[in-house]
Amino acid sequence: RKEVEQDPGPFNVPEGATVAFNCTYSNSASQSFFWYRQDCRKEPKLLMSVYSSGNEDGRFTAQLNRASQYISLLIRDSKLSDSATYLCVVNRAAGNKLTFGGGTRVLVKP
């Protein structure tokens, strides 16, 4: 089983709609969680950190469920520019390394 797993998608989303997807992690000692965004042929860039209480940044909301060991990302009022691959990132307890999920591809269409 992979340490961090994501549905690869693609999630085809009408412009203006809401889309949500999850990421599961296997190490219960994981301490920090992030969502990164990656555009085609570009480097990943930090979208947002995920806090225990959940957090929101504009149209984006991230949640952490430690009991079920998953994090989620919700995008409201989707824009064409939201089309990208969203990477779930988990900081393992040992060392300071980050482990990446395979990414969820989102395609927002007019």
Partner 1 sequence: DAGITQSPRHKVTETGTPVTLRCHQTENHRYMYWYRQDPGHGLRLIHYSYGVKDTDKGEVSDGYSVSRSKTEDFLLTLESATSSQTSVYFCASQTDSGNTIYFGEGSWLTVV
* Alpha-carbon span 83 to 28, nearest angstrom: 31
Q: Residue 19: phi, psi to the nearest 5?
A: -135, 145
Rule CB under 8 A: say whether 46 interacts with partner 1.
Answer: yes
CB nearer partner 1, residue 76 or residue 91: 91
Nearer to partner 1, 28 or 31 (CB): 31
Q: In the stretch 73-102, what mask flags binding to partner 1 with x, by CB under 8 A?
A: --------------x-x-x----xxxxxxx
Least separation in angstroms between residue 43's CB and partner 1 is 4
User: How many residues of this chain interact with partner 1, rule: CB under 8 A?
Assistant: 20
Contact with partner 1 (CB under 8 A): which of 12, 26, 45, 66? Answer: 45
Going by C-alpha positions, the residue among 6, 8, 14 that lies closest to residue 105 is 8
* Per-residue buried b or exposed e for 65-88, using 16+ beta carbons within 10 Å of the residue's own CB: eeeeebbbbebeebeeebbbbbbb
What CA–CA distance (Å, rounded) separates 69 from 23? 9
Does 70 sit near partner 1 (CB under 8 A)?
no
* Contacts with partner 1, residue ranges (CB under 8 A): 32, 34, 41-46, 49, 87, 89, 91, 96-103
